[in-house]
Each structure stands twice: as C-alpha cells, then as structure tokens.
Structure 1
Amino acid sequence: MKHMLIMRATQTAADAYAETDFEAVINAMGAYNESMINAGVLVAGDGLAPEPGYVVDFNGEAPVVSDGPYGEIHELFNGFWIVQTATAEEALEWAKRAPLTRGSKLEVRRVTDESDFADFADNEYIEKEKGWRADQAQ
C-alpha cells in the first residue's frame, strides 16, 4: 500500500529551520531519502518552494485564484514523500525517522487504490485510469 508523508510546518519549526545550516539539512534529507531508496520503499518525493504559489478557491460560483499558498504558517504544505509499504505501521515508522526540525509535523495518509473503487469497476473513467497508469509507467 502507498502512503503520502506530508511535511507541515509550525512557527517553532520555521524558527528552528532558520537557525540550521542549509548544507546540514541537505545532507540529512539526502541520507533519509537514500535509506528509503535502499529499502525499496520510496516511490516519489519533493520539497515545495514557498513562492510563487496560488490558491484556487471553489467556495463561490466561479473559482477564484489568489496568491498563496496560505497566510498562516501552520497551513503550509512544505513537501512530501510517497512510500510503498506492506502496512500503515511501516509507513509510520518511516515517517518517524524523517530528519525534521522541532515543531515540524508529518501527516501520513493512505493513497487510494483500485480497491477503493471496487463498486465502480465498470465505470468508464476507472477503466481509462488503468490505461493511463500503465502508459505513465512506461
């Protein structure tokens, strides 16, 4: 099963990060990524730049675009990893090893798969998605 590990910040984390040597951050993240690659669990992952960013708000009749990502630091999504593990517990173990600063948070979410849509197996787009995924894998 796949899980997404979503990096989130708090003001405490931002302050700690500001006091950390950037090369040390690169080295710690590199070693963590390498350990996941060597274990065969890393599917994807990237950090996200703070700017430019936008929010598309669907609260009204038409979507409204504003500069983003958000106003408050605790709402920032700073990056992610997608890991393929046998269990949720294994994904949590990898999450606990992340070299993040004090105040950081990792949200761990299961990525949906075909079993989540079993009741709709004959849906045109469920079938198309299987083909799209096969094409992307090549």
Structure 2
Amino acid sequence: MAVHDDCKLRFLELKAKRTYRSIVFKIEEKQKEVIVEKLGDPEQSYEDFAASLPADECRYAVYDFDFVTAENCQKSRIFFIAWSPDTSRVRSKMIYASSKDRFKRELDGIQVELQATDPTEIGLDVIKSRAS
C-alpha cells in the first residue's frame, strides 16, 4: 500500500506547526494508496473529531490531544487511531489491518496508538486515561 506524500506533509504540519487538530486518512483501494480524507481545524473538539469517523467504514486517524497533568502542566499527545467498526466490510478490515504498521511508520512522532471497533473504545475518557 502506497502512502500519498500529502499524508506525511499534513502530519508534519499537525506535529510541528499545529495547523490541524486531527487528520482522517482513507485507503483508496483502486489506487492502492492511503490519502488524506479530512483535516480538522485547531479549534475542533474531540467529540467533533470522533463524530467525523464513518460508522461503517474503516479509517486511520491522527488526533493531537491537549491535556493538563495532575501537576498542572499543559501537555499534548499525538494519538494514532485505527478505526475498524464491526459493521465495515471484512475485506476493508483486512486491508486496513495489514497496512497499518507500514502506514504508521511513515508518520514519525505518534505517541499513543488505539485500535477501535466502536465509539466507546475511543471515548474521551479512554483518550484521557491513555494520554497521561
């Protein structure tokens, strides 16, 4: 599976310049390539991001999560989310699962990885507990 240069470019902008809050990536099966599907602006809430993932299709997503530690320090973690809902096609799930590690290697700077099959697995409480 090829990775479109735009994926790496947008990820670098999220990581270095914080131009985006989130990026949703999609595999174009015909071109056998991972492309950028959606960019979330810096003001986007986590709930808006989670709601933007399709209910019955697989996606990869990156979310830049800001939080405050118990010591009152402002921190940020970059999450990689492999979204594979139970209702998506088996073929799609297999393609996303087999391409995940290679795609993730292209994005240097991911701090936390989540695998999710339904919205409860990427709830804000889960993100908060994994961030700290």
TM-score, normalization by structure 1: 0.29
TM-score, normalization by structure 2: 0.30
Structure with greater Cα Rg: 1
* Structure number with higher relative contact order (C-alpha < 8 Å, ≥ 6 residues apart): 1
More strand by share: 2
More helix by share: 1
